């Protein structure tokens, strides 16, 4: 396995977020991301240290080489780790951050209503469990 240098702090009860993690596992160029549930002790600490309320997160957190990214900047950085159609997210950079983040926040604030919420955390595949903190 390649060295993990990126951390994705995700909302493990959010269906959209959990499916995003599953998509990433299937489409990663290399196994270089550690996944941390925001509901875990480590996830809560990471979120709080970056000003994100772990009890009401409006963004996921993507930490790459020590730099914390949120909202659409996080999506763009994450997409660079993926192969397939998700790579197209890089073109979001041409849209001013204020506009793309406003769209992101609309979806983030309504994600449970639109996509649903689950009581069951992701069960990572056996061969990838060491990459998860749940």
Q: Where are the domains of the chain?
A: 6-133
Contacts 24+ apart (CB under 8 A), 46-54: 46/7, 46/9, 47/9, 52/9
For residue 1, what pLDDT band results from cuts at 50, 70 and 90?
very low
Q: What is the pLDDT of residues 38-87, one digit of tens each?
A: 999 999 999 999 999 999 998 999 999 989 999 999 999 999 999 999 98
Encode pLDDT of 96-124 as tens digits: 999 999 999 999 999 999 999 988 777 78
Strands 61-64 and 6-10: antiparallel
Ordered alpha helix ranges (H), the chain: 15-27, 41-49, 71-79, 97-115
User: How many angstroms separate the CA atoms of 47 and 39, rounded?
Assistant: 10
As a whole number of angstroms, the longest Cα–Cα distance in the chain is: 40
pTM above 0.75, yes or no: yes
State the pLDDT confidence band at 3, using cuts at 50, 70 and 90: low
pLDDT tens-digit series, residues 76-103: 999 999 999 998 999 999 999 999 999 9
pLDDT at 2 over 60: no
DSSP letter at 59?
Answer: S
At 6-39, the pLDDT tens digits run 999 999 999 999 999 999 999 999 999 999 999 9
| Cα separations in angstroms, 31 against 60, 77, 130, 131 | 19, 15, 11, 9
Identify whether the C-beta of residue 133 lies closer than 8 Å to the C-beta of residue 35.
Answer: yes
Q: Residue 115: what pLDDT?
A: 95
Cβ neighbour number for residue 47 with a 10 Å cutoff: 23
């Amino acid at each position: 396995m390649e060295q993990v240098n990126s951390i994705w702090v995700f909302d493990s009860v959010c269906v959209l977020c959990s499916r995003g993690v599953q998509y990433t596992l299937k489409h990663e160029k290399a196994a270089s991301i550690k996944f941390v549930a925001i509901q875990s002790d480590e996830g809560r600490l990471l979120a709080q240290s970056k000003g994100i309320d772990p009890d009401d997160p409006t963004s996921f957190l993507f930490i790459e080489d020590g730099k914390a990214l949120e909202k659409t900047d996080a999506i763009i950085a994450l997409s660079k780790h993926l192969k397939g159609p998700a790579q197209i997210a890089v073109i979001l950079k041409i849209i001013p951050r204020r506009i793309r983040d406003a769209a992101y926040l609309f979806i983030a604030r309504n994600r449970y209503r639109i996509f649903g919420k689950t009581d069951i955390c992701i069960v990572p595949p056996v061969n990838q469990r060491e990459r998860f903190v749940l």
